[in-house]
């Protein structure tokens, strides 16, 4: 059990949010022992799932969505059941900082709303729930990163007590639970959950021999997904469900990173193939009959990442185009 840690700062979002009229993930067994009452991770067991199921064949319509404020770098990181998208633009340098936004249908330029933590140098909006509450991380002028939430228009900054200045939030569900990670003094990542109702952080530990875990997504069953490094050095994805930690690797890949999860436990993320190309993926029915599908935006084959998924199975993410620009991607099931 981890002790509650006080928030750093709260601020009204009213002064920070503005509609942009002229116009950055995130960064791997089954289910969580979390509950809205405690937000704590209990004792876990581990299970290894075979990956021999043939890929699925869902078809998608792909759309590129870039904020006109920066056509060179956009990443879409989350999508809720109302099809509201969370993301950011800007490569993250001192002269080209991350700037967060949300985007509503029909996804025209006037549908972008700037969302940046008050006083931040950089902000990424990484997660959005079905109430429209968001989370992410912001960077101060010293380069320290802090998690943040925007609940009903009020921004709050948070730091995991074990990783002050290195905290990032990556997902939020409808039960006031947030997931993310912090970095320790040795440079290793540690995943956690945060219960916003009682300010309780709880660490998400990898199976024996694993390390460097990031918790990247959480659904309303309080199942948690993410990725970690195995004892052999491979990067694998996971889902933590009912205190059991299930690990997954895309067939033939030694680098599989899960980045999002929906209410059907469908996982999404990215994997690296034997040619070192990046492809998005979906993994449906991971507990009983896992089925993989490789995802590539037609404008960015070999450079695609899927970062978010809603209950309907619509996807958001990003790819690198032929000009070297990073573009936001929406993939809607046909």
Tell me what pLDDT residue 73 has. Answer: 98
Q: Is residue 1 part of a domain?
A: no
Domain around 34? 9-333
Q: List, for the chain, all residue ranges whose pLDDT scores fall below the cut of 50.
A: 1-40, 50, 52
Q: Is residue 32 part of a domain?
A: yes
Tell me what pLDDT residue 123 has. Answer: 98
Number of domains in the chain: 1
Q: Give the CATH number of the domain where residue 13 resides.
A: 2.120.10.30
CA distances in angstroms from 10 to 39, 157, 189, 225, 329, listed in the order given: 21, 6, 26, 28, 32
Tell me what pLDDT residue 264 has. Answer: 97
Tell me what pLDDT residue 57 has. Answer: 85
Q: Is residue 186 part of a domain?
A: yes
Tell me what pLDDT residue 45 has. Answer: 66
Tell me: the pLDDT tens digits for 140-161?
999 999 999 999 999 999 999 9
3-state secondary structure the chain: CCCCCCCCEEEEHHHCCEECCCCCCCCCCCCECCCCCCCCCCCCEEEECCCCCCCCCCCEEEEEECCCCCCCEEEEEEECCCCCEEEEECCCCCCCCCEEEEECCCCCHHHEEECCCCCCCEEEEEEECCCCCEEEEEECCCCCEEEEEEECCEEEEECCCCCCCECEEEEECCCCEEEEEEECCCCCEEEEEEECCCCEEEEECCCCCCEEEEEEEECCCCCEEEEEECCCCCEEEEEEECCEEEEECCCCCCEEEEEEECCCCCEEEEEECCCCCEEEEEEECCCCCCEEEEECCCCCCCECEEEEECCCCCEEEEEECCCCCEEEEEEEEC
Give the integer Cα–Cα distance in Å for 308 and 56: 18
Tell me what pLDDT residue 151 has. Answer: 98
Q: Is residue 306 part of a domain?
A: yes
Q: Is residue 126 part of a domain?
A: yes
Q: Are 160 and 167 in contact (CB under 8 A)?
A: yes
Q: Is residue 156 part of a domain?
A: yes
Give the integer Cα–Cα distance in Å for 89 and 211: 30
């Amino acid at each position: 059990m981890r002790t509650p840690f006080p928030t750093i700062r709260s601020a009204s979002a009213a002064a920070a949010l503005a509609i942009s009229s002229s116009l950055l993930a995130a960064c791997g067994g089954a289910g969580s022992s979390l509950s809205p009452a405690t937000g704590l991770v209990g004792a876990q067991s581990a299970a290894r799932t075979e990956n021999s199921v043939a890929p699925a064949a869902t078809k998608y319509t792909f759309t590129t969505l870039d904020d006109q404020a920066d056509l060179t770098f956009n990443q879409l990181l989350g999508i809720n059941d109302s099809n509201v998208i969370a993301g950011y633009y800007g490569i993250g340098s001192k002269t080209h900082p991350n700037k967060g936004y949300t985007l509503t249908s029909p996804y025209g330029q006037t549908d972008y709303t700037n969302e940046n933590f008050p006083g931040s140098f950089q902000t990424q909006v990484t997660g959005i729930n079905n109430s429209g509450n968001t989370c992410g991380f912001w960077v101060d002028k010293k380069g320290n990163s802090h998690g943040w939430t925007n609940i009903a228009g009020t921004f709050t900054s948070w730091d995991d007590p074990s990783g002050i200045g290195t905290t990032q939030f990556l997902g939020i569900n409808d039960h006031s639970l947030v997931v993310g990670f912090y970095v320790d003094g040795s440079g290793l990542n540690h995943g956690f959950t945060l219960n916003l109702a009682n300010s309780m952080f709880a660490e998400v530990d990898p199976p024996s021999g694993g390390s460097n875990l990031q918790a990247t997504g959480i659904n309303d069953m309080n199942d948690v997904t993410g990725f970690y490094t195995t004892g052999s050095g491979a990067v694998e994805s996971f889902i933590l469900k009912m205190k059991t930690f299930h690990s997954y690797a895309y067939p033939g890949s030694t680098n599989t990173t899960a980045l999002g999860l929906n209410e059907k436990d469908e996982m999404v993320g990215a994997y690296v193939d034997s040619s070192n190309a990046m492809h998005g993926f979906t993994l449906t029915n991971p507990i009983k009959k896992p089925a993989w599908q490789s995802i590539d935006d037609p404008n960015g084959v070999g450079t695609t990442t899927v970062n978010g998924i809603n209950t309907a199975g619509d996807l958001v993410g990003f790819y690198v185009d032929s000009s070297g620009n990073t573009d936001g991607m929406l993939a809607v099931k046909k």
